[in-house]
Amino acid sequence: MPYIKIPKEWEIPENQATFESDYINRRKFIKDLGLAGAGALLFSSSNACAQNKGVEKQLEPYRAQKLTAENNPNFTVNRQMTDEVVAATYNNYYEFTTSKSGVWKEVKKFKTRPWEVEISGLVEKPMTLDIDDLIKQMPLEERIYRFRCVEAWAMVVPWIGFPMKALLEKVQPKAEAKYVRMLTFLDSEVAPQQRNLRYPWPYYEGLTLAEAMNDLTILTVGIYGHRLPPQHGAPIRLIVPWKYGFKSIKSIVSIELTNKKPRTFWNTLAPREYDFEANVNPNVPHPRWSQANERMIGTGERLPTMIYNGYGSAVAHLYP
């Protein structure tokens, strides 16, 4: 519909006055338009309700697999927890789809049992562990962390996992080990986007050994009190809360200690936009958008971004 300017009454010359029939028809059109808008709103709400029901059903088998883990009171935040359904329907997982709201649908064929994690490289005791054996051996705890994406959105999530340090101490890093390289799975039969050869699959990430050994760095196997669903990176993913989310690699199959700085997935693809450190910093904009503020998923609230995502007291010393 073209834009119609309605001038003041005294600006209308008599020969341009609207006929009564046209006026009535226009009022009917506007009324119909309002009803159509209301109908679209109801349709949108209906779709959201249907999606919520679909996600609730998808989460059922994972919610049934509760994890016993004490909440660690040292890791809480002064923000509202993100609703579980909201968190389950807003995910970046490019192996499956580039649509954040579509990941939960695309991961239905993704099986996370059986699953093994290999720890190798510059370690005294290399090993390959079944995921369930690993979970039994590690000290699980719940930590509530702020989660900040490089795309300037954020969540507050209750992760269940264990310090990465506990696993690394188990394999005993050699003196020359300086970095940790991690790799995710490769299976284009269940992850269709891995057929896209523009990306250097499988996904790979890295940390310095000091970052990996920091108390904040955890390997997570659960969320909201239960086992991780696939869209969150099941069966095991990294969480580094002071870094942008792309550093927190999902569905890990390999952890390798090395003496050379490893290449990382997004830094390989776009080095000007995604650096190796990827620390949350409101003063360093992304080349295409500001990082000064962040949008909370679920509420839409905009908050100022905190340096190191608010964890500076625990990690700033790593970056003299």
**Residue 25: predicted pLDDT:** 46
pLDDT of residue 9: 32
Shortest CA distance to 141 belongs to which of 38, 70, 61? 70
Tokens 């690993």, residue located = 134
* Final residue of a structural domain among 35, 64, 93: 64
Question: Residue 140: which residues within 8 A CB-CB, separation 6 or more?
Answer: 67, 68, 69, 160, 161, 162, 221, 222
From CA 239, how far away is CA 216, in angstroms rounded?
8
Q: How far apart are CA 168 and CA 40, in angstroms?
A: 54
Are 281 and 304 in the same domain?
yes
Shared domain check, 87 and 56? no
Same domain for 97 and 25: no
Residue 225 sits in the same domain as residue 135: yes
Could you list the pLDDT tens digit for every one of the 320 residues in the chain? 433 333 333 233 333 333 333 333 434 433 444 544 545 444 445 566 767 899 999 999 999 999 999 999 999 999 999 999 999 999 999 999 999 999 999 999 999 999 999 999 999 999 999 999 999 999 999 999 999 999 999 999 999 999 999 999 999 999 999 999 999 999 999 999 999 999 999 999 999 999 999 999 999 999 999 999 999 999 999 999 999 999 999 999 999 999 999 999 999 999 999 999 999 999 999 999 999 999 999 999 999 999 999 999 999 999 99
pLDDT for position 206: 99
Q: Please check whether residues 77 and 117 belong to one and the same domain.
A: yes
Q: Same domain for 137 and 222?
A: yes
Q: How many CB atoms lie within 10 A of CB 146?
A: 21
Q: What is the pLDDT of residue 51?
A: 78
Are residues 220 and 87 in contact, defined by beta-carbon separation less than 8 angstroms? no
The domain total for the chain is 2
Partners of 120 in the β-ladder: 256
> Which structural domain, as residue segments, surrounds residue 296?
69-318
Residues 187 and 301 in one domain: yes
Tokens representing 211? Answer: 């970052």
Is residue 85 located within the same domain as residue 32?
A: no
Which pTM does this prediction carry? 0.85
Do residues 280 and 258 share a domain?
yes
Return the SS3 of 127: strand
Instruction: For residue 303, give the H/E element and its range.
Output: strand 302-304
Residues 40 and 91 in one domain: no
Domain match, 115 and 193 both = yes
Q: Residue 223 belongs to a domain with what CATH number?
A: 3.90.420.10
